[in-house]
Amino acid sequence: MSNATMQAAMAYLSKMQINAFFETTWQTQDACNSLAARIVGAPVVASAIQGATSYTVVPTGNRAGLVVQFRTAENALDVDFLSFVEQAYGSRFVPEHRYYGDVGDLKVFTMTSIRGVSLYLARQELRADGGALLRTTVRDFAQFCAMAWHNTPTAMLSPDRAELRENYRSQLQQLRGGLPTPFCDVLGRLLAGLPSLFAPDWPLVPNHTDLLENNIHVDPDTGHLMGICDWKDAEVSPFGISIEGLESLLGHRSSRAWNWVSNHVHLRRHFWDAFAEAWGGLSQRPMCVASRPQGWLVSSSGTASNGTNRPERPFPLERGAPGSRISGQSS
């Protein structure tokens, strides 16, 4: 698929999302744009990537500046929790979120802009020349994943480990009931490993729950990871769950199957080398490998770890595929 086709598909989706959003409020798009322009101090335009529960505008001409986002009350951002996310991952990877105020029935938030383009639009550049630029993206993503181990604030409230483990166990059991035998074997091993994943000495950290291509921004010229957006549904769960996002770098879903990049095995090994260097916890690597399919499977079950509904998403778990075992070895 060409970049032009991908951009057209994204524009069509964004238009539908904008129309759907303004069916939920008596505010108009023009009124929101006018307020956003006053906040930013410059002309604004709807961002190329929208979300299902918000309306986002950015300065025109791809200029640096604040991003303004409008949300209904039931989909408001928890800026107090997001401040912990920002501390855990740093300004390099997470925008700074602030509550601006209300306009009619909508909540208004600002955030610092993330430069670059979505991973979705940079596929061709990153995968050219044997994935030379993608190697840089993978290394940066490893550094992103490791940061929560070192920087998660101790003041952040965490859920009860026993309750969280039971939520995971229940969701994995439900998945196990409808999958072929090879997948059930994997799920059986994951279920057996849950007590270790929720042991007192394994940290609970803020994890992004939707690390798909549109939420990962990169510089298409250098391959560097520019940041992660859409933290609305971030949750506190075991360290390592976010590693599931690696699969969005190493492949993509077509209408019929999950398609890996040609050198995904090499890039996966590069990720683990970079992750071990940034993390410093190599002796506990099997635990992190175990948490990766946990992230896939719980995400694709359609519910968050707290039991609330989450949009359905595919996961690339198949017999013999990377991530289909929970040893300390990379595929």
Domain boundaries in the chain? 14-112, 117-303
pLDDT on residue 222 = 98
pLDDT level of residue 6 (50, 70, 90 thresholds): confident
In the numeric block, which tokens belong to residue 3? Answer: 């970049």
Which residues have a Cβ under 8 Å from the Cβ of 10 and sit 6 or more positions away?
A: 48, 49, 118, 120, 121, 214
**Residue position matching structure tokens 């398609």:** 259
The b-or-e profile of 165-201 (16+ CB within 10 A means b, else e) is bebbeebbeebbeeeeeebeebbeebeebbeebbeee
- CATH 3.30.200, applies to 14-112: yes
Q: According to CATH, what is the number of the domain 117-303? A: 3.90.1200
**Total residues found in the chain within this entry:** 331
The phi, psi pair for 41, rounded to 5°, reads 80, 25
pLDDT in tens, 184-229: 887 888 888 888 888 888 899 999 989 999 999 999 999 999 999 9
Q: How far apart are alpha carbons 311 and 97 in whole angstroms? A: 23
pLDDT in tens, 47-70: 988 988 999 999 997 677 899 999
The Cβ of residue 91 has, within 10 Å, a number of other Cβ atoms equal to 11
* Helices marked H in 251-322: 264-279, 285-300
Q: pTM to 2 decimals?
A: 0.84
Q: How far apart are alpha carbons 209 and 230 in whole angstroms? A: 9
Taking the CA atoms of 271, 265, 2 and 258 in sequence, report the sign of the dihedral they define: negative
Residue 329 has pLDDT above 70, yes or no: no
In the numeric block, which tokens belong to residue 52? Answer: 């299902």
